[in-house]
């Protein structure tokens, strides 16, 4: 059992084992006991001369403050930013470069929050110091899940098996429910019941993951049906900032039947949890509940300090400090997203190459994109010629250019316009390389943001192809990719998220 967290990146709760979680819960309980017996500063030698960088690209009160408090109580120091105004992010600095600057400033550990899914795995790939995910888009918030588990552990007699919990509010656009439910999936006999509008309901990819991990997930018609059957009810705020084209008024309307008010908790022994903040205008929890016996979320917030103190203690207690390395490994700009395709030697393929002997042929493109592709490849500016296939009835046109090859940015821009293009490199009149360029389909994934330069990478998670960064399952959309080709590709990629250097 690994119980040392020295130099460990904390990116996804699925990277933990059940025994590691229980170890951290015990460590969190210890921090709680120290506090309650008046020994708040008894470990304040642990992080003397150690520093925490907090990089919050999104608003935060609790997460940021609790990391800073935890670091202070362990004797360390913190610095960083809260919101991007006043930082070089306003001058279009990439995540890669900002992380490198934190390294140059000798920070020992970084906690970061960012609106893009997968941005924290990327930060961890870049950073020599360990990185903690303080929330990446609507992907994960592992330390929130750990503090939620600590709260459940303490309320439930030091036990996380057999828990039945209700989820409400917005299960679709937030990260706390995703992380908490995946965290609970490490334990036995877990039941999740939820009630919400379809639009705010549990995303199918999460229900699938939970089903595979033996968690019983039941959708109920009403909040009261959930409340009657659970010990804990975890409410969440509708994540308006992650919804497009929908007004607050419309969300208030959707939440009408699903808000928590006194009537819903009356006569029940349920504890109401919430990662906070509560939106005072939507009021997903009515103000009267704040003063009721059921309210357990402020206790939960203090448990955040204990858990983060435990985590920082475990991460920093015996590690040496790291010397800044000013160079970036080449591996950081290489993906593994080129699905190789067989090169046919038959006559039909002559049409790809008859007009060029050196160049690139792009095939299986979406129709009607000729101009856009010209633009993203900058063909006119570069003075390169290109010929599009004008074969009547051909659904997926192809395009020939006499560019030598395409850069990673060009391939990515192309795949954003026309997913899964087949790319052929022609040398001396022959196809020498042929591959399908894969790009994660999650529209909020960091690998899709051109200037961030994150190379798309996938891994094989027990038979499922997942994006290394946002960890969403990759589903092939182009029927030109055969199941056999996909299977061969999947088998050839890493089985787990290994540090980049080891690939
Ligand atoms: C949450 C977050 O940012 O994901 N807050 C938190 O960290 N306690 C939940 C939210 O903002 O709704």
pLDDT value at position 344? 75
Which atom of ligand 1 is nearest the CA belonging to 63? Answer: 7
SS (H, E, C) 408-475: HHHHHHHHHHCCCCEEEEEECCEEEEEEEECCCCCCCEHHHCHHHCCCCCEEEECCEEEECCCCCECC
pLDDT value at position 342? 86
pLDDT value at position 357? 81
Cα 61 to middle of ligand 1, angstroms: 9
pLDDT value at position 347? 52
Tell me the per-residue pLDDT of 132-142, one tens digit each, with 9 for 90 and over.
999 999 999 99
313 closest CA partner among 97, 2, 42, 53: 42
52 closest CA partner among 103, 9, 124, 109: 109
Q: Ligand 1: does its nearest atom lie under 6 Å from the Cβ of 177?
A: no
- Whole-angstrom CA distances from 28 to 43, 188, 269, 319 are 13, 21, 25, 20
Cα 275 to middle of ligand 1, angstroms: 6
pLDDT value at position 379? 80
Residue 225 tokens read as 């049906």
Tell me the per-residue pLDDT of 188-203, one tens digit each, with 9 for 90 and over.
999 999 999 999 999 9
pLDDT band at 391 (very low <50, low <70, confident <90, very high): very low
* Ligand 1, atom 6: closest residue by C-alpha: 275
Which atom of ligand 1 is nearest the CA belonging to 135? Answer: 4
pLDDT at residue 2 greater than cutoff 80: no
Tell me the per-residue pLDDT of 335-371, one tens digit each, with 9 for 90 and over.
999 999 988 765 555 555 566 788 898 988 988 888 8
Q: Ligand 1: does its nearest atom lie under 6 Å from the Cβ of 137?
A: no
Give the integer Cα–Cα distance in Å for 19 and 299.
24
Q: Ligand 1: does its nearest atom lie under 6 Å from the Cβ of 135?
A: yes
Which atom of ligand 1 is nearest the CA belonging to 58? Answer: 3
486 closest CA partner among 474, 497, 498, 494: 474
Cα 422 to middle of ligand 1, angstroms: 41
Q: Ligand 1: does its nearest atom lie under 6 Å from the Cβ of 308?
A: no
Mean pLDDT of the chain: 93
Average the pLDDT over 254-275 and give the result. 96
CA geometry: angle 329, 331, 337, nearest 5 deg = 160
pLDDT band at 320 (very low <50, low <70, confident <90, very high): confident
Give the integer Cα–Cα distance in Å for 355 and 352.
8
pLDDT value at position 390? 46
Average the pLDDT over 106-126 and give the result. 98
Residue 252 tokens read as 């208030």
Residues 6+ apart with CB under 8 A from 246: 240
Q: Ligand 1: does its nearest atom lie under 6 Å from the Cβ of 275?
A: yes
Which atom of ligand 1 is nearest the CA belonging to 239? Answer: 12
SS3 call for 168: strand
Cα 237 to middle of ligand 1, angstroms: 8
pTM assigned to the model: 0.94
What amino acid positions are annotated as catalytic residues? 62-63, 92, 113, 141
pLDDT at residue 236 greater than cutoff 70: yes
Return phi, psi of residue 140, to 5°.
-140, 160
Q: Ligand 1: does its nearest atom lie under 6 Å from the Cβ of 169?
A: no
CA geometry: angle 416, 421, 424, nearest 5 deg = 135
Q: Give all domains of the chain, ordered by start, each with its CATH number.
A: 13-141+304-316 (3.40.50.1370), 143-296 (3.40.50.1370), 330-502 (3.30.70.140)
Q: Ligand 1: does its nearest atom lie under 6 Å from the Cβ of 141?
A: yes
The beta-strand segments (E) located in 286-326 are: none
pLDDT value at position 503? 42
Q: Ligand 1: does its nearest atom lie under 6 Å from the Cβ of 62?
A: yes
How many CB atoms are closer than 10 A to CB 81? Answer: 17
Cα 277 to middle of ligand 1, angstroms: 7
pLDDT at residue 97 greater than cutoff 90: yes
pLDDT at residue 45 greater than cutoff 90: yes
Q: Ligand 1: does its nearest atom lie under 6 Å from the Cβ of 63?
A: yes
Q: Assess contact for 426 and 353: CB atoms under 8 A.
A: yes
SS3 call for 134: strand
Average the pLDDT over 19-29 and give the result. 98
C-alpha dihedral over 253, 255, 258, 259, to 10 degrees?
-110
pLDDT value at position 384? 66
Average the pLDDT over 424-443 and give the result. 94
Q: Ligand 1: does its nearest atom lie under 6 Å from the Cβ of 178?
A: no
Average the pLDDT over 94-105 and give the result. 98
Average the pLDDT over 111-134 and give the result. 98
Q: Ligand 1: does its nearest atom lie under 6 Å from the Cβ of 421?
A: no
Which atom of ligand 1 is nearest the CA belonging to 144? Answer: 7
* Ligand 1, atom 12: closest residue by C-alpha: 237
pLDDT band at 319 (very low <50, low <70, confident <90, very high): confident
Which atom of ligand 1 is nearest the CA belonging to 275? Answer: 8
pLDDT value at position 395? 64
Cα 194 to middle of ligand 1, angstroms: 19
pLDDT value at position 346? 59
Q: Assess contact for 282 and 237: CB atoms under 8 A.
A: yes
Q: At what angle do helices 204-212 and 176-184 cross, to 10 degrees?
A: 10
Give the integer Cα–Cα distance in Å for 80 and 429.
55
pLDDT at residue 243 greater than cutoff 90: yes
pLDDT value at position 383? 65
pLDDT at residue 100 greater than cutoff 80: yes
Q: Assess contact for 174 and 185: CB atoms under 8 A.
A: no
- Whole-angstrom CA distances from 186 to 84, 194, 287, 296 are 36, 19, 34, 23
pLDDT band at 501 (very low <50, low <70, confident <90, very high): confident
* Ligand 1, atom 8: closest residue by C-alpha: 275
Give the integer Cα–Cα distance in Å for 370 and 375.
9
For a substitution probing ligand 1, which of 54, 63, 83 has the most ligand atoms within 8 Å of its CB?
A: 63
Average the pLDDT over 310-327 and give the result. 93
Which H or E run contains 360? strand 359-363
pLDDT value at position 382? 72
pLDDT band at 281 (very low <50, low <70, confident <90, very high): very high
CA 247 from centroid of its chain's CA atoms:
25
Percent of the chain with pLDDT over 90: 83
Give the integer Cα–Cα distance in Å for 356 and 353.
5
């Amino acid at each position: 059992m690994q119980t040392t967290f020295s130099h460990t990146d904390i990116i996804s709760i699925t990277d933990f084992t059940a025994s590691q979680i229980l170890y951290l819960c015990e460590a969190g309980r210890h921090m709680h006991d120290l506090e309650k017996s008046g020994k708040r500063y008894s470990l304040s030698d642990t992080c003397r001369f150690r520093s925490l960088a907090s990089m919050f690209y999104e608003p935060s009160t609790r997460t940021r403050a609790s990391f800073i408090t935890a670091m202070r109580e362990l004797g360390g120091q913190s610095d960083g930013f809260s919101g991007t105004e006043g930082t070089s992010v306003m001058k279009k600095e990439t995540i890669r470069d900002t992380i490198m600057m934190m390294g140059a400033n000798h920070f020992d550990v970084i906690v970061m929050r960012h609106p893009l899914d997968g941005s924290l795995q990327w930060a961890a790939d870049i950073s020599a110091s360990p990185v903690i995910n303080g929330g990446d888009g609507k992907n994960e918030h592992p330390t929130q899940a750990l503090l939620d588990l600590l709260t459940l552990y303490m309320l439930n007699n030091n036990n996380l098996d057999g828990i039945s919990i209700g989820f409400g509010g917005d299960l679709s656009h937030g990260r706390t429910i995703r992380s908490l439910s995946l965290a609970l999936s490490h334990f036995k006999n877990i039941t999740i019941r939820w009630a919400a509008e379809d639009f705010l309901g549990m995303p199918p990819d999460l229900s699938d993951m939970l089903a595979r991990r033996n968690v019983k997930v039941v959708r109920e018609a009403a909040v009261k049906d959930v409340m009657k059957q659970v010990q804990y009810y975890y409410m969440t705020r509708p994540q308006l900032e992650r919804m497009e084209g929908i007004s607050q008024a419309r969300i208030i309307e959707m939440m009408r039947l699903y808000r928590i008010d006194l009537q819903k908790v009356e006569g029940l022994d349920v504890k109401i949890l919430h990662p906070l903040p509560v939106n005072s205008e939507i009021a997903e929890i009515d103000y009267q509940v704040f003063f009721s016996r059921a309210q357990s979320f402020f206790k939960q917030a203090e448990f955040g300090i204990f858990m983060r103190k435990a985590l920082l203690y475990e991460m920093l207690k015996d590690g040496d400090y790291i010397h800044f390395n000013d160079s970036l490994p080449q591996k950081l700009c290489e993906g593994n997203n080129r699905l190789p395709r067989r090169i046919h030697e038959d006559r039909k393929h002559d049409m790809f190459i008859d007009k060029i002997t050196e160049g690139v042929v792009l095939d299986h493109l979406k129709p009607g994109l000729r101009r856009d592709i010209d633009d993203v490849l900058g063909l006119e500016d570069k003075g390169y010629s290109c010929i599009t296939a004008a074969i009547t009835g051909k659904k997926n046109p192809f395009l020939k250019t006499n560019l030598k090859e395409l850069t990673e940015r060009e391939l990515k821009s192309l795949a954003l316009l026309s997913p899964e293009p087949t790319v052929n490199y022609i040398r001396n009149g022959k196809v020498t390389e042929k591959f399908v360029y894969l790009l994660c389909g999650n529209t909020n994934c960091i690998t899709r943001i051109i200037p961030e330069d994150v190379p798309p990478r996938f891994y094989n998670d027990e038979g499922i192809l997942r994006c290394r960064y946002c960890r969403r399952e990759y589903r092939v959309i182009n029927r030109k990719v055969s199941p056999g080709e996909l299977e061969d590709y999947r088998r050839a990629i890493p089985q787990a998220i290994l540090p980049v250097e080891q690939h």
